[in-house]
Amino acid sequence: MTPSPTLPQGGGRPLPAQGRGRLLAISGVTKRFGGFTALESVDLTVAPGERLGLIGPNGSGKSTLVNCIAGTLRHEAGTIAFKDRDIGRLPAFKRVHLGVARSFQIPRPFASMSVADNLRIPLLYGAGAPLTLNTQSATAEAMRILEQVGLAGKAHAMSGGLTQVDMRKLELARAIAAKPALLIADESMAGLSASEVDEILVLLLGMKEHGVAVIMIEHVMRAVMKFSERIAVLVAGRKIADGDPKAVVADRDVVKAYLGE
Amino acid sequence: MSEIPTALILNAIIAGLLLGGFYAAVSVGVSISFGMLDVVNIAHPAFIILGSYIAYIVNDRFGFDPIAACVLLSPLFFVLGLAIYRVYYLCFEKRGQESLRGLAFFFGILFITEVALVLVFGVDYRAVRTGYSDTTWRLGPVDFPLRLVVPFAVSVTMVASIEMFLTRTFFGRAVLAVAQDALALRLMGVDTLRVKERAFALSIATAAVAGSFLIVIQPVQPAIGREYIGLVFAVCVLGGMGSIRGTLAAAFILGLAESFTATFAGPSWAPAVSFGLLLATLALRPSGLFGR
Amino acid sequence: MTNPRFAALAFAAAIAFIAATMLIPNDYYFSAAYTVLQFVILATAWNVLGGYAGYVNFGSAAFFAVGAYSSVFLYKAVHPPLIVSIAVGTVVAGLLGMAVGYLTLRLRGVFFAIATLALAVVLYTFVVNWDYVGGARGAYILQPKDLPFGLKRYIHVLYMAMVLMTAAALVIARTIETSAIGRGLAAIRDDELAAECAGVPTLRLKILAATVSGSLMGMAGTTFPYYLSYVEPSAAFNLSYAVNTIAMPLIGGMTMWAGPLVGAVLLGTVQQVVQVTVSSEWNLLIVGVLLVVFVTLAPNGIVGWVARLRRKR
């Protein structure tokens, strides 16, 4: 299932031979905010098409890690390699072109645009886009993605006035429209009802068919267990566990981190 | 001989420091409104000029000392600040439009104030008469004109009081907390709107009081406000947003830079100093000297 | 309507407009029209960065003055034909926009706004101290004697130039607005971080918008010295430019190319009337009040209001 890694155009420095083969390879990444260390020497890999769950208590650094991968924050030490290229110096939009997409924990729609128009932006500027994508094919593609996430009926509604679950779906739809190889879903299910959680879960599970790897950051353990092929645990900026979901969840340190002594 | 240049340099330094103290008073309000509350009140200089003209009226009609007058009238300016923040909050901050439309709003206020003052007072310079306007202390080769010394003293007192107020009183620390993490405070049950409202009102009050210092230092006309925009934001940005001590340091730096420019390159270049410094800071070190 | 078709229509309309009005005997019409057209160009230009991308430029006067003073400089140096002055001024102002953009657009929008304020004052100080272009005393420009196309009055030449430049500015604005670039700018305006994470090269697009915006504002200023025959810094850096270029798109509507046009024509005409009947100070006061009223109560401007009415039906 592992396609041979092709060197993408568009930036990043090639890695030495030992790091190859993974879609995303994070090694020794550290991020500090003044005196506070948010991430401490974190290692993480993601294989193409893999479903990785990332869990940890609040404040453990999950969102910081997402921001470092996506490029909205610069890490201080370590390497972030995507498709065998070091992307640490690339601005966020270039990482999108290479195939990294993320959704935001608190949805950030383009409020002056309709739902469909929100998708035009990543369709025009994302990894799959020739910049001359004409309006008709863009509209068709946008509608197709909206069908995929279940928002087709609201295509022409203003994105600012959606319900919570629809906004989360729009966030994911926007990320999908960027044609990523890696999609990072940052707490898309927080605060949703059980059936809404299932809707999002189905959506994310469907990404595998398109060959898209997904990092799911969640607190809803039921969803994480159903979704993940592998789970990594972050506590206080350090990764304390990484492996088979059932084993990780039973791990003593993990239990201690969530429930205390 | 080196006698004359030394005197020139010493006078430039003293003038720069005296002005610097005044610049700190003029800018401390922006440190609060922009540095701590994230409100881009570019109309701040309008309130300075308003304070100047009110000081002028009181001095002209009743012969009161302008600075004392504005200090006594400061509660009125405080109320004005409350009202303006209300409008700003309801129309812009709540709707998330503060960056574009809030900015335009304050620009409009700046503009209206200037034009209204022109309509009422005309474009002639207005000055005040105080008991000390014409007195100059002399210490060796150095002049200490009282029209600079008195505002300097009151300015530094005002800025120091505000720093103490912010760090020692309960409300002051609430303001500092709001500056750091308003959301956390709201979750703790603090009425952040009231805190911000009053902090903003305080910044307006300081502007108006500083206006009385201004008119003691030099005669004013309505267009002067615009020259102070660059100065006020330069001081705030250079000092590091929201740091009162940074404001004081930056104000002195700016005062000295302007004083030396005026002495050695000519006064017509002085306005470019503050704005040039602002542009340089924004381009090179936007977090300022003492920035968070 | 596609952009090429719109461009053809715009220029056809411009030519028709010129032909129709050229015969108006009243000289005042041409002065008033010149001023209003100047504002249409300025407002349209400002809106490319302000309305489309959400970055407020308070220093419109600086770019306008750069256009004007580059004409003065060229006039003193080589006496070029008008079209050369226009071209050079536009390019210089565009370069200024690019430079300021490059230096400050990496920061938050408010810092760009403050920097543009600073820019206006710094440039003003420079010009006042630069004797070659007249400094504080000002510079005289003699209107050329032989006029093209057999025209009799120089104001007619300027008028024609302004109408054509207005058409060009509107075409450029509409082209940007309806293109992928325009969508990218709108995304930046709505949420810059989300735009960046959707693949939009935010810094590049912002600098592009700043360059185009600056160049068009400079273009508006290039004929100014020829219009007045005499230019001094306080005229070129006039306060009314700063407030009008913001008020007009705001009142007309900031998300569409037609908004600044509507705002400039309306507000510009009102001002011409008020200026003649009352005074220029009251004029400015009214503009300022309208700015505050509109920004508080009708943030989408006239065009936005009309669009809302149409949607309700």
pLDDT tens, position by position, B182-197: 777 777 777 888 889 9
| pLDDT at res. B96 | 63
* Distance, CA of C138 to CA of C161 (rounded, Å): 24
The pLDDT mean for chain B works out to 86
> Is the predicted pLDDT of residue C175 greater than 90, yes or no?
yes
CB of C106 less than 8 A from some CB of A: no
| pLDDT at res. A54 | 94
On whether residue B288 sits in a domain, the answer given is no
Please state the φ and ψ torsions of residue C106, each to the nearest 5 degrees: -80, -15
pLDDT-derived band at B95 (thresholds 50, 70, 90) equals low
Distance from A97 to chain C by nearest Cα, in Å? 6
Partners of chain B (3+ Cβ pairs below 8 A): C
Whether residue A86 contacts residue A168, with contact meaning beta carbons closer than 8 Å, is answered with no
The pLDDT mean for chain C works out to 88
Q: Which domain covers residue B157, as residue numbers?
A: 3-231
Per-residue pLDDT, averaged over B205-228, amounts to: 89
Any idea which residue has 């020739």 for tokens?
A130
A135 in helix, strand or coil?
helix
Q: How far apart are the first and last CA of chain C?
A: 23
pLDDT-derived band at B49 (thresholds 50, 70, 90) equals very high
Which has the higher per-residue pLDDT, A83 or B139?
A83
| pLDDT at res. B65 | 87
pLDDT-derived band at A4 (thresholds 50, 70, 90) equals very low
A109/C180 Cβ within 8 A: no
Which of C54, C129, C296 lies at the smallest CB-CB distance from B269?
C129
Distance from C203 to chain A by nearest Cα, in Å? 10
Run of H or E residues at A33:
strand A24-33
Whether residue A119 contacts residue A177, with contact meaning beta carbons closer than 8 Å, is answered with yes
| pLDDT at res. C307 | 80
On whether residue B242 sits in a domain, the answer given is no
Which has the higher per-residue pLDDT, A11 or A216?
A216
Please list, in sequence order, all residues whose beta carbon lies within 8 angstroms of the beta carbon of residue C174, skipping any fewer than 6 positions away. Answer: C3, C6, C257
Run of H or E residues at B143:
strand B142-145
* Distance, CA of C205 to CA of C185 (rounded, Å): 7
pLDDT-derived band at C87 (thresholds 50, 70, 90) equals very high
Distance from C300 to chain A by nearest Cα, in Å? 11
Tokens for B31? 């440190």
**Cα dihedral sign, B56-B62-B66-B70:** negative
Which has the higher per-residue pLDDT, C291 or B292?
C291
* Distance, CA of A213 to CA of A47 (rounded, Å): 7
Domain boundaries, chain A: 50-72+91-259
> Is the predicted pLDDT of residue A91 greater than 90, yes or no?
yes
pLDDT-derived band at C235 (thresholds 50, 70, 90) equals confident
Residue-wise burial string across A167-202, b where 16 or more C-beta atoms lie within 10 A, e elsewhere: bbbbbbbbbbbbbbbbbbbbbbbeebeeebbebbbe
Please list, in sequence order, all residues whose beta carbon lies within 8 angstroms of the beta carbon of residue C37, skipping any fewer than 6 positions away. Answer: C159, C162, C163, C165, C166
Q: Which residues share a beta bridge with A32?
A: A37
Whether residue C61 contacts residue C38, with contact meaning beta carbons closer than 8 Å, is answered with no
Per-residue pLDDT, averaged over B51-56, amounts to: 93
**pLDDT by residue (tens digit) across C9-32?**
899 999 888 888 877 888 888 888
On whether residue B279 sits in a domain, the answer given is no
Please list, in sequence order, all residues whose beta carbon lies within 8 angstroms of the beta carbon of residue C10, skipping any fewer than 6 positions away. Answer: C167, C170, C171
Which has the higher per-residue pLDDT, C305 or B41?
B41
* Distance, CA of B78 to CA of B202 (rounded, Å): 6
Identify the CATH class of A50-72+91-259: alpha beta
Whether residue A216 contacts residue A52, with contact meaning beta carbons closer than 8 Å, is answered with yes
Axis-axis angle for helices C82-104, B270-284 (nearest 10): 60
**pLDDT by residue (tens digit) across A185-214?**
999 888 888 888 998 899 899 888 889 999
> Is the predicted pLDDT of residue A64 greater than 50, yes or no?
yes
| pLDDT at res. C313 | 60
* Distance, CA of A172 to CA of A183 (rounded, Å): 9
* Distance, CA of A240 to CA of A56 (rounded, Å): 10
- What is the percentage of chain B residues whose pLDDT exceeds 90? 34
C282/B119 Cβ within 8 A: yes
Per-residue pLDDT, averaged over B32-61, amounts to: 91
* Distance, CA of A182 to CA of B74 (rounded, Å): 59
Among chain A residues, CA nearest to C201 = A93
pLDDT-derived band at A129 (thresholds 50, 70, 90) equals low
User: A72 vs A28, A67, C198, CA distance in Å?
Assistant: 18, 5, 12
* Distance, CA of C263 to CA of C47 (rounded, Å): 11
**pLDDT by residue (tens digit) across C189-210?**
999 999 999 999 999 999 999 9
Per-residue pLDDT, averaged over B25-37, amounts to: 91
Q: How many CB contacts within 8 angstroms connect chain A with chain C?
A: 76
**pLDDT by residue (tens digit) across B141-166?**
888 888 888 889 999 999 999 999 98
> Is the predicted pLDDT of residue A131 greater than 70, yes or no?
no
Any idea which residue has 């009425």 for tokens?
B191
Among chain B residues, CA nearest to C136 = B268
| pLDDT at res. A9 | 45
Those of residues 35-94 in A touching chain C at CB distance below 8 A are 70, 72, 91-94
Q: Domain tally for chain B?
A: 1
Report which of B205, B171, B180 is spatially closest to residue B81, judged by C-alpha positions.
Answer: B205
CB of B265 less than 8 A from some CB of C: no
On whether residue B58 sits in a domain, the answer given is yes
C255 in helix, strand or coil?
coil
> Is the predicted pLDDT of residue B217 greater than 60, yes or no?
yes
> Is the predicted pLDDT of residue B4 greater than 90, yes or no?
no
Report which of B211, B268, B245 is spatially closest to residue B26, judged by C-alpha positions.
Answer: B211
> Is the predicted pLDDT of residue A11 greater than 70, yes or no?
no
| pLDDT at res. C262 | 94
Any idea which residue has 């910044």 for tokens?
B203
Distance from C303 to chain A by nearest Cα, in Å? 15
Please list, in sequence order, all residues whose beta carbon lies within 8 angstroms of the beta carbon of residue A190, skipping any fewer than 6 positions away. Answer: A105, A218, A219, A220
Q: So what's the ipTM on this one?
A: 0.88
> Is the predicted pLDDT of residue A17 greater than 60, yes or no?
no
| pLDDT at res. B17 | 93
Tokens for A196? 């809404």
Tokens for B8? 């020139």
Q: Which residues share a beta bridge with A232?
A: A54, A242
| pLDDT at res. A19 | 47
CB of B83 less than 8 A from some CB of C: no
| pLDDT at res. A7 | 42
> Is the predicted pLDDT of residue B35 greater than 80, yes or no?
yes
Which of C107, C129, C295 lies at the smallest CB-CB distance from B105?
C295
**pLDDT by residue (tens digit) across A163-175?**
988 999 999 999 9
